[in-house]
Amino acid sequence: MDCLDSASLNLILRLQLEDLEALQATVNKQSKNRDGEKPDFVAALDAYQDDLAGASQVLADRAMSQSIARAVRVDAETLRSLRAEEDQAARDRALALRLAGKANPDGVGNEVDTKTPALSEEMLTRLDGLWIGDADDMEYGAGSGHAGGASAPCSWPR
Protein backbone atom coordinates (compact mmCIF):
# COMPACT_ATOMS: atom_id res chain seq x y z
CA MET A 1 0.00 0.00 0.00
CA ASP A 2 1.36 3.40 -0.92
CA CYS A 3 1.76 5.99 1.76
CA LEU A 4 -1.32 8.11 2.30
CA ASP A 5 -1.42 11.68 3.46
CA SER A 6 -2.84 12.53 6.87
CA ALA A 7 -6.13 13.81 5.48
CA SER A 8 -6.76 10.52 3.65
CA LEU A 9 -5.88 8.47 6.71
CA ASN A 10 -8.21 10.57 8.86
CA LEU A 11 -11.02 10.15 6.32
CA ILE A 12 -10.51 6.37 6.20
CA LEU A 13 -10.54 6.20 9.98
CA ARG A 14 -13.67 8.36 10.26
CA LEU A 15 -15.53 6.21 7.69
CA GLN A 16 -14.51 3.02 9.48
CA LEU A 17 -15.72 4.46 12.80
CA GLU A 18 -19.06 5.41 11.21
CA ASP A 19 -19.44 1.91 9.74
CA LEU A 20 -18.61 0.38 13.11
CA GLU A 21 -21.16 2.56 14.92
CA ALA A 22 -23.86 1.58 12.41
CA LEU A 23 -22.97 -2.09 12.78
CA GLN A 24 -22.98 -1.85 16.59
CA ALA A 25 -26.41 -0.17 16.51
CA THR A 26 -27.76 -2.99 14.36
CA VAL A 27 -26.25 -5.66 16.60
CA ASN A 28 -27.61 -3.99 19.75
CA LYS A 29 -31.14 -4.00 18.31
CA GLN A 30 -30.95 -7.67 17.33
CA SER A 31 -28.87 -8.91 20.25
CA LYS A 32 -30.36 -11.87 22.13
CA ASN A 33 -27.56 -13.00 24.39
CA ARG A 34 -27.64 -14.63 27.77
CA ASP A 35 -27.03 -12.55 30.87
CA GLY A 36 -23.34 -11.80 31.38
CA GLU A 37 -22.28 -13.41 28.10
CA LYS A 38 -20.93 -11.46 25.20
CA PRO A 39 -21.38 -13.01 21.75
CA ASP A 40 -18.18 -13.53 19.78
CA PHE A 41 -19.31 -11.05 17.13
CA VAL A 42 -19.82 -8.33 19.77
CA ALA A 43 -16.40 -9.10 21.26
CA ALA A 44 -14.90 -8.81 17.77
CA LEU A 45 -16.61 -5.44 17.28
CA ASP A 46 -15.25 -4.25 20.64
CA ALA A 47 -11.74 -5.34 19.64
CA TYR A 48 -12.13 -3.55 16.31
CA GLN A 49 -13.29 -0.43 18.12
CA ASP A 50 -10.19 -0.61 20.34
CA ASP A 51 -7.99 -0.93 17.24
CA LEU A 52 -9.64 2.08 15.63
CA ALA A 53 -9.24 4.09 18.84
CA GLY A 54 -5.54 3.18 18.87
CA ALA A 55 -5.16 4.19 15.23
CA SER A 56 -6.93 7.45 15.98
CA GLN A 57 -4.49 8.16 18.81
CA VAL A 58 -1.52 7.37 16.56
CA LEU A 59 -2.82 9.83 13.97
CA ALA A 60 -3.33 12.50 16.64
CA ASP A 61 0.19 11.87 17.99
CA ARG A 62 1.56 12.03 14.45
CA ALA A 63 -0.12 15.37 13.84
CA MET A 64 1.29 16.72 17.11
CA SER A 65 4.82 15.51 16.33
CA GLN A 66 4.62 17.02 12.84
CA SER A 67 3.52 20.32 14.35
CA ILE A 68 6.39 20.29 16.84
CA ALA A 69 8.91 19.35 14.14
CA ARG A 70 7.66 22.16 11.87
CA ALA A 71 7.78 24.67 14.73
CA VAL A 72 11.33 23.72 15.69
CA ARG A 73 12.49 23.82 12.08
CA VAL A 74 10.77 27.13 11.30
CA ASP A 75 11.83 28.81 14.55
CA ALA A 76 15.36 27.37 14.72
CA GLU A 77 17.15 30.54 13.59
CA THR A 78 15.06 32.73 15.90
CA LEU A 79 15.79 30.39 18.81
CA ARG A 80 19.52 30.47 18.04
CA SER A 81 19.45 34.27 17.89
CA LEU A 82 17.53 34.60 21.16
CA ARG A 83 19.88 32.19 22.89
CA ALA A 84 22.91 34.17 21.67
CA GLU A 85 21.31 37.37 23.02
CA GLU A 86 20.64 35.73 26.39
CA ASP A 87 24.20 34.42 26.58
CA GLN A 88 25.60 37.86 25.72
CA ALA A 89 23.37 39.54 28.32
CA ALA A 90 24.57 37.08 30.96
CA ARG A 91 28.21 37.76 30.09
CA ASP A 92 27.61 41.54 30.08
CA ARG A 93 25.97 41.40 33.50
CA ALA A 94 28.79 39.33 34.96
CA LEU A 95 31.38 41.72 33.50
CA ALA A 96 29.54 44.79 34.83
CA LEU A 97 29.36 43.28 38.30
CA ARG A 98 33.08 42.39 38.25
CA LEU A 99 34.02 45.91 37.07
CA ALA A 100 31.89 47.41 39.84
CA GLY A 101 33.60 45.16 42.35
CA LYS A 102 30.32 43.59 43.36
CA ALA A 103 29.58 39.96 43.85
CA ASN A 104 26.79 38.48 41.84
CA PRO A 105 24.33 37.56 44.61
CA ASP A 106 22.32 35.02 42.67
CA GLY A 107 25.12 33.68 40.49
CA VAL A 108 23.14 34.42 37.34
CA GLY A 109 25.38 35.48 34.51
CA ASN A 110 28.57 34.14 36.02
CA GLU A 111 28.66 31.38 33.47
CA VAL A 112 26.99 30.90 30.15
CA ASP A 113 24.59 27.97 30.18
CA THR A 114 26.54 25.09 28.69
CA LYS A 115 24.21 22.37 29.96
CA THR A 116 21.48 23.23 27.47
CA PRO A 117 22.70 22.29 24.00
CA ALA A 118 22.52 24.91 21.28
CA LEU A 119 20.01 24.30 18.51
CA SER A 120 22.60 23.36 15.90
CA GLU A 121 22.03 22.10 12.41
CA GLU A 122 23.36 18.76 13.65
CA MET A 123 20.63 18.62 16.31
CA LEU A 124 17.96 19.53 13.76
CA THR A 125 19.24 16.78 11.47
CA ARG A 126 19.04 14.32 14.37
CA LEU A 127 15.48 15.40 15.09
CA ASP A 128 14.63 14.98 11.42
CA GLY A 129 16.15 11.50 11.58
CA LEU A 130 13.78 10.58 14.37
CA TRP A 131 10.79 11.60 12.26
CA ILE A 132 8.89 8.65 10.85
CA GLY A 133 6.29 9.51 8.30
CA ASP A 134 5.68 11.16 4.98
CA ALA A 135 8.26 13.85 4.22
CA ASP A 136 5.61 15.80 2.30
CA ASP A 137 3.65 16.19 5.54
CA MET A 138 6.57 18.08 7.07
CA GLU A 139 6.10 20.98 4.63
CA TYR A 140 9.45 22.58 5.21
CA GLY A 141 10.74 22.29 1.72
CA ALA A 142 13.57 20.73 -0.21
CA GLY A 143 16.58 22.50 1.32
CA SER A 144 15.63 21.52 4.83
CA GLY A 145 18.16 18.76 5.35
CA HIS A 146 15.43 16.16 5.88
CA ALA A 147 17.13 13.01 4.60
CA GLY A 148 17.72 14.54 1.20
CA GLY A 149 14.00 15.02 0.72
CA ALA A 150 13.41 11.27 0.69
CA SER A 151 10.35 10.09 2.49
CA ALA A 152 10.55 7.50 5.21
CA PRO A 153 8.50 4.33 4.84
CA CYS A 154 5.04 4.58 6.23
CA SER A 155 2.24 2.19 6.97
CA TRP A 156 -1.17 2.20 8.54
CA PRO A 157 -0.86 3.17 12.20
CA ARG A 158 -0.64 0.14 14.48
Q: Which domain holds residue 41?
A: 6-149
Least confident segment among 17-31, 55-69, 122-136: 122-136
Average pLDDT over residues 104-110: 61
**Is residue 13 included in any domain, yes or no?**
yes
What pTM did the predictor assign? 0.54
**Is residue 72 included in any domain, yes or no?**
yes
Total domains in the fold of the chain: 1
**Is residue 157 included in any domain, yes or no?**
no
Q: Choose from 32-41, 44-53, 59-68, 121-130 the range with maximum mean pLDDT.
A: 44-53
Instruction: Inform me whether the pLDDT recorded for 151 exceeds 50.
Output: no
Mean pLDDT estimate for the chain: 75
Looking at residue 142, its pLDDT comes to 33
- Cα 128 to Cα 30: distance, rounded to the nearest angstrom: 51
**Is residue 31 included in any domain, yes or no?**
yes
Cα atoms in the 13 Å half-sphere on the side-chain side of 64:
6
**Is residue 1 included in any domain, yes or no?**
no
**Is residue 155 included in any domain, yes or no?**
no
**Is residue 158 included in any domain, yes or no?**
no
**Is residue 45 included in any domain, yes or no?**
yes
Do the beta carbons of residue 154 and residue 132 sit within 8 Å? yes
Looking at residue 32, its pLDDT comes to 67
Looking at residue 23, its pLDDT comes to 92
- Cα 87 to Cα 109: distance, rounded to the nearest angstrom: 8
Distances (CA, A) of 153 to 6, 22, 60, 70: 14, 33, 19, 19
